[in-house]
Structure 1
């Protein structure tokens, strides 16, 4: 299968390397010229449970060079989704499918506006990755599963074909007839810890030692569950404690959420697509979400202070 990965960060590279080694013509597309050039010159260095190796990958900054793919996997930061897909329309041919594996909710609508809802698939992945430098990642694929599905819940031949391609390459994948519910399940886990660690700068180990923060987390998750239920979404969990427990499962005490990592790097977060989604859906369905609205406001305040500091620094 010819596959293009839009956004070759840690996760894009981890999935891209796996699909490449599985025999698929896989293109890693990224805005960073240095990262792409390093991958083209030396391959992608992958450190994982099997050790360290160089994987010869196809990489480009220019979607026109790649041409139409059978599948486009979208893995850019949430707030870049619209710009990225509109800049990557040369990847989209008559039969191209577009699959978002991003965190949070709302990307499917953005992609549908750009390429048509009929070609959009949704999914969630628990694959992990850390970008160690240009063309160098630490990858966690083994034992991590990916779930994909049609937005309307049908189990179609085309979604099965994508799952077969992924499974054949060693990317454990299942097809869901309730992908929206699956996305909400993952959202609950992100709601449980992301914003709280971003605001407090705490690692998982520190967060889980603070009863007050646990109480806030459970309140935020309870709001999200109420919103999902009002929207008619079928969840796999109905107790906020489940999301709180699941969030830290198998992770070291020193682990930092992606939201905290973004803030520490001085970049914007995906808050609008996580807690912000809960607030938007709540407003749509008449469910109050004061805890999530407060968490969004606090993260936005931190982002504003950070941007002001960066602007002040650039004017010195």
Structure 2
């Protein structure tokens, strides 16, 4: 299967590298500095304390890649429409487009850009941290990826995608309740993303502060209430499960993607995570005061960064 990772940053490179190791024909599409490093020296994956090299082609222009069988979208949420529109050269007659992005609402955007029939939904718990251009820390141990058709059917294309992941040793499940899966993953992001960004703490010290845990549980509880008001069937039955799952299998130095963005001076995906909980809460009449405060705090930090982070934060 010919695969392009659209938005090959930390997570995209980690996932693409492991898929390439499993035998898939993977192309990375991302920012010039990282892509140039990968083409020059290969992609280095660090797992635990050990590095290994993966040879994978990296590009900055979709036209250089051409049509593929599968596009895995991992750009920042607020760049989804722009990035997929600019990468139309990847889309051939049989191309499937799969979002594994954090948050809620990407499938609607993808459907508008490439058409409903091309889109499948998914979520991944695989982790990635950019150590340097061409060098990524990978977190795959016990980390599942779930994919599903928007109508809940189990299609041949889902089975083909699952087989590619399995060949790479990645845990993958084909779901008939992908909306529930999306919300279950959202709960994990709600638990740690904003709090890691606000406190600037990686997971080790973050999980050592009881007050942080209490706040996380309160935010997840609100999100669960919103999902239930929407009629979504969740696998998560206790808010503490989302808090525990967020750090499962990851090292103490692991940083949530929201913290990684802020450390780089970039805008975050807060509007697609805690912000999505607030918006859906307003639609269903479910109060979300904790998530509203977390959104406000992250927006304030973004404003303090200035530049693109402040502009995107205000526009989202």
Secondary structure in 2 matching 1:26: strand
Matches within 5 A, 1:1-316: 1-30=1-30, 32-48=31-47, 51-307=50-306
Q: Does the C-alpha gap of structure 1 residues 21 and 251 become closer, same or farther in structure 2, counting only changes over 3 Å?
A: closer
Segments of 5+ residues of structure 2 without an aligned counterpart are: 311-316
Deviation at 1:159, TM superposition (A): 0.9
Deviation at 1:5, TM superposition (A): 0.8
Secondary structure in 1 matching 2:240: helix
Match of 1:314 in 2: none
With structure 2 as the length reference, what TM-score do the two structures score?
Answer: 0.91
Q: Does the C-alpha gap of structure 1 residues 202 and 113 become closer, same or farther in structure 2, counting only changes over 3 Å?
A: same
Q: Which moved more, 1:132-141 or 1:150-159?
A: 132-141
Q: Does the C-alpha gap of structure 1 residues 285 and 28 become closer, same or farther in structure 2, counting only changes over 3 Å?
A: same
Deviation at 1:92, TM superposition (A): 0.8
Q: Does the C-alpha gap of structure 1 residues 35 and 294 become closer, same or farther in structure 2, counting only changes over 3 Å?
A: same
Q: Which moved more, 1:282-291 or 1:249-258?
A: 249-258
Equivalent residues, number = 310
CA distances 1:126-175 after superposition (whole Å, capped 9, x unpaired)? 22222222222222334432111112211111111111122123222110
Q: Which moved more, 1:302-311 or 1:121-130?
A: 302-311
RMSD between aligned alpha carbons? Answer: 2.2
Deviation at 1:49, TM superposition (A): 5.4
CA distances 1:112-136 after superposition (whole Å, capped 9, x unpaired)? 1110122111111122222222222
- CA–CA separation in structure 1 for the residues paired with 2:48 and 2:232: 37
Deviation at 1:79, TM superposition (A): 1.4
- CA–CA separation in structure 2 for the residues paired with 1:142 and 1:240: 22
Over alpha carbons, which structure has the higher Rg?
A: 1
Secondary structure in 2 matching 1:93: strand
Q: Does the C-alpha gap of structure 1 residues 96 and 214 become closer, same or farther in structure 2, counting only changes over 3 Å?
A: same
Q: Where in structure 1 do 4 or more consecutive aligned residues deviate above 6 Å?
A: 308-311
Secondary structure in 1 matching 2:4: strand
Secondary structure in 2 matching 1:45: strand
- CA–CA separation in structure 2 for the residues paired with 1:8 and 1:157: 26
CA distances 1:76-98 after superposition (whole Å, capped 9, x unpaired)? 11111111101001101121100
- CA–CA separation in structure 1 for the residues paired with 2:254 and 2:19: 27
Q: Does the C-alpha gap of structure 1 residues 230 and 6 become closer, same or farther in structure 2, counting only changes over 3 Å?
A: same
Deviation at 1:219, TM superposition (A): 1.9
Secondary structure in 1 matching 2:75: coil
Q: Does the C-alpha gap of structure 1 residues 246 and 309 become closer, same or farther in structure 2, counting only changes over 3 Å?
A: closer
Secondary structure in 2 matching 1:3: strand
Segments of 5+ residues of structure 1 without an aligned counterpart are: 312-316
- CA–CA separation in structure 2 for the residues paired with 1:127 and 1:55: 18
